Structure 1
Amino acid sequence: MGELSEEQYKVCCDAFSAFAGSGSLLTPFELNAAMRSLGHAPTTEDFNKICEEHDLYAKGGVSLQGFLYIIAQREAGAGLRAGLLEAFARFDRDQNGFVDAEEIKEAMMVIGEEPFTEEEWALLLQEYEMPETNQIDYYQLVEIMTRKEPPP
């Protein structure tokens, strides 16, 4: 998990206080509002997973420490997504959000600390419907790559 900067920590504490009021917990409703105020707008599915992972309904909410943990996780994920998008954009000659599948495959199999194997590439593409043009929408690919859970 990533760590929050001092500034992020302060902003998160302020958001927690603003939404929790005099309470020591953010209810699930307040958590959703606080997350949105910080620019983290989870989908209903993502929010339900957060609530389940932290047992928020049984506990009645989330503490400041739990809130900081949730936001740090989201910030780390956002940084990873941004880095991947930036890397893929370098291969996007037409700047249209698409890259050549073979070119990306070759790059992903040699670049980085842990390059992809043929098997990993095949698994990744199982979730991506490759168009006949052999062009990959790298925004969609990044969403697949940064998904927290494998598909069912």
Structure 2
Amino acid sequence: MQSTLYRGISTRKDKPRGRQHGLTQQKRQEIKEAFELFDTDGSGTIDAKELNVAMRALGFEMSEEEITRMIAEVDKDGSGAIDFDEFCHMMTAKFGERDTKEELMKAFHIIDQDKNGKISAADIQRIGKELGENFTEKEIQDMIDEADRDRKFSLFNS
């Protein structure tokens, strides 16, 4: 597989905005939260590595070819990575009417290895390593601070 598939960056400027694909604002927000969780490098796109981890976290074991095909189906700009609107389209097609919050919770529980209801710095470091990223302590703390705006030190209230 070419490295551009893993590091493609979207330069698309004509992205559609607002409600799309018949999604409610709440569903779109839930999908956005999933996108941000798996966009580990903060590029605004999800590459093949990130998508593979996302699909595994959501309970789908997929081959490299299936991941490549999924990206190709929605990657309108040919960057080899998918932006939020492309991800939104893919998720609605892939999951249909499945409950997105339920899927997010499944992903959360897979990432939360010690099952304490929180995603720890160690969990983020582990996911980063699975994606080939080496996050600094500051980068990890910035991610935690961004996700935990209410300072409850938990991403989801169980």
For the aligned pair, the TM-score class normalised by the smaller chain equals: 0.3 to 0.5
Instruction: With the length of structure 2 as denominator, give the TM-score of the two structures.
Output: 0.38
Instruction: With the length of structure 1 as denominator, give the TM-score of the two structures.
Output: 0.40
Choose between structure 1 and 2: higher helix proportion: 1
**Structure number with bigger Rg:** 1
